Amino acid sequence: MKNRIITISREFGSGGRTIGKAVAEALGIPCYDNELLKEIAVESGFNEKYVEDAGEYAPGGFLASAFSHQAPGPNNADYLWKIQYRLITELAEKGSCVIVGRCADYILRDKADCLRVFIHADMAFRAERIVSIYGERKESPEERIKDKDKRRAAYHRFYTDMKWGKAQNYDITLNSGTLGIDKCVEIIESLY
């Protein structure tokens, strides 16, 4: 596989999605984020919101409690993981692209020429961003950030057995609060 893939993992509110889309646009390659979520929903037959939520809960948590009377074995989350794994692999085979989240860094680790990026920022920067960009309430954006990051970390660890956000698991980590969104885009673009 000769395609160059950029995977963007990110802390909630750090601007990783924005950075991924801007990098893809600058390089003239596709960016897969919500589009991937929609495709997983179509293939699985599950509601898109359910697929989005399942992508941030490790089995044994929220989803397991919803289906606590099921027999042991593969569950909905495992079914969605298999679809996600296959779709991400197929996208990487199809052409160069940017993939935001969904454990693409892990899925493509041995399958593609992959630049694995992690975007992070301090709490104040992220809280201000989610209030101004996503319209979160000003009273407690930090709690929402902590919750989203905790769920992302648990999901990533469950399926990859790797620590989400640990620098050694990525080629580069960038602090978008210090560097700024545009500089992060410029750096990633220069590494392509």
Share of the chain above pLDDT 90, in %: 73
The boundaries of the domain holding residue 169 are 4-191
For the segment 152-169, the average pLDDT, to the nearest whole number, is 93
* 0.85 exceeded by pTM: yes
pLDDT tier, 6 (very low <50, low <70, confident <90, very high otherwise): very high
Q: What integer best gives the mean pLDDT of the chain?
A: 89
Start-to-end Cα distance in the chain: 16
pLDDT tens column, 49-65 = 888 878 777 775 444 44
Total number of domains constituting the chain: 1
CATH of the domain at 187: 3.40.50.300
Cα–Cα dist 9/115, whole Å: 11
Cα–Cα dist 46/40, whole Å: 8
